[in-house]
Amino acid sequence: MPIATPEVYNEMLDRAKAGKFAYPAVNVTSSQTLHAALRGFAEAESDGIVQISTGGAEFLGGQYKKDMVTGAVALAEFAHIVAEKYPVTIALHTDHCPKDKLDGYVRPLLKISQERVAAGRNPLFQSHMWDGSAETLDHNLEIAKELLAEAAKAKIILEMEITPTGGEEDGISHEINDNLYTTVDDAFRTVEAVGLGEHGRYLLAASFGNVHGVYKPGNVVLRPSILKELQEAVAQKYGKPSPFDFVFHGGSGSTKEEIDEALENGVVKMNIDTDLQYAFTRPVADHMFRNYDGVLKVDGEVGNKKTYDPRVWGKSAEAGMAARVVVATQDLRSAGNKRK
Evaluate if residue 167 carries a pLDDT over 90: no
Distance separating alpha carbons of residues 190 and 182, to the nearest angstrom: 11
**C-alpha dihedral, 165 to 189 to 149 to 50, nearest 10°:** 20
From residue 276, give the alpha-carbon distance in Å to each of 44, 93, 112, 260, 282: 16, 17, 29, 20, 10
Please write the tens of the pLDDT for every residue from 25-75: 999 999 999 999 999 999 999 999 999 999 999 999 999 999 999 999 999
With the C-alpha atoms ordered 170, 172, 176, 180, is the resulting torsion angle positive or negative? negative
More confident residue, 318 or 169: 318
Evaluate if residue 305 carries a pLDDT over 90: yes
- Please classify residue 68 by burial: count the beta carbons closer than 10 Å to its beta carbon, then call 0-12 exposed, 13-18 middle and 19+ buried: buried
Contact 213, 252 (CB under 8 A): yes
Residue 168's pLDDT is 47
Residue 175's pLDDT is 46
Evaluate if residue 172 carries a pLDDT over 80: no
Average pLDDT, the chain: 93
Residue 173's pLDDT is 45
Residue 42's pLDDT is 98
Residue 163's pLDDT is 82
Residue 177's pLDDT is 47
Q: Does 95 participate in catalysis according to the annotation? A: yes
CB atoms within 10 A of CB 157: 25
Lowest pLDDT segment from 153-157, 187-191, 211-215: 211-215
Residue 219's pLDDT is 56
Helix (H, G, I), strand (E, B) or coil at 169: strand
Contact 269, 25 (CB under 8 A): yes
> Pairing state of beta strands 202-205 and 157-161?
parallel
Contact 158, 203 (CB under 8 A): yes
Evaluate if residue 85 carries a pLDDT over 80: yes
Spatial neighbors of 87 by CB under 8 A, at least 6 apart, are 42, 338
What single-letter DSSP state applies at residue 3?
B
In the Cβ-directed half-sphere of 266, how many Cα atoms lie within 13 Å?
A: 19
What single-letter DSSP state applies at residue 271?
E
Contact 268, 13 (CB under 8 A): yes
CA 308 to chain centre: 32
Evaluate if residue 212 carries a pLDDT over 80: no
Contact 133, 165 (CB under 8 A): yes
Q: Which of 95, 131, 170, 331 is catalytic?
A: 95
Residue 275's pLDDT is 92
Helix (H, G, I), strand (E, B) or coil at 219: coil
Evaluate if residue 176 carries a pLDDT over 50: no
Residue 217's pLDDT is 53
Please write the tens of the pLDDT for every residue from 101-120: 999 999 999 999 999 999 99
Q: What percent of the chain has pLDDT over 90?
A: 85
Q: Residue range 124-140: average pLDDT?
A: 95
Distance separating alpha carbons of residues 168 and 188, to the nearest angstrom: 27
Pick the closest to residue 130 from 113, 116, 117, 145 (CA basis). Answer: 145
Evaluate if residue 220 carries a pLDDT over 70: no
